Amino acid sequence: EVQLVESGGDLVQPGGSLRLSCAASGFTFNNYWMSWVRQAPGKGLEWLAIINPDGSATDFVDSVRGRFTISRDNAKNSLFLQMNSLRVEDTAVYYCARDWPGCGRCSADYWGQGTLVTVSS
């Protein structure tokens, strides 16, 4: 059974940093691209970042590029999101998702339960 479990969410002050983790199991982790997606309270889904299977390629949405870093440890089946220079508007539930080639030809077919990041003074 595919499982994704996020952790690391917390209350942090504006300008602070946080590192989120996503533990993957039930599939061959190093065969898949992985993504981070967030959802601010009462708002829609916002795709944030993606990383390729060997970690050599990444991409980000403009709103976090230069502040957030995505990485992975294939030996530990883990995905990470390093978030720096956090802003109040980064407050959201953060999800990791199994991406391409999920289900063979799809994007995010499995999601974690999410971890809450609150940025507030």
Partner 1 sequence: DIQMTQSPSTLSASVGDRVTITCRASQSISSWLAWYQQKPGKAPKLLIYEASSLQSGVPSRFSGSGSGTEFTLIINNLQPEDFATYYCQRYNVNARTFGQGTKVEVK
Write out the residues near partner 1 by the rule CB under 8 A: 35, 37, 44-47, 50, 57, 59-62, 95, 99-100, 102-103, 105-109, 111-114
Largest CA distance in the chain: 44
Smallest gap from residue 109 Cβ to partner 1 (A): 5
Smallest gap from residue 44 Cβ to partner 1 (A): 4
Smallest gap from residue 51 Cβ to partner 1 (A): 9
Using an 8 Å Cβ cutoff, are 27 and 89 in contact? no
**Cβ-based nearer residue to partner 1, 10 or 109:** 109
With H, G, I as helix, E, B as strand and everything else as coil, classify residue 75.
helix
Residue with tokens 């989120």: 20
**Cβ-based nearer residue to partner 1, 17 or 63:** 63
Using an 8 Å Cβ cutoff, are 23 and 34 in contact? no
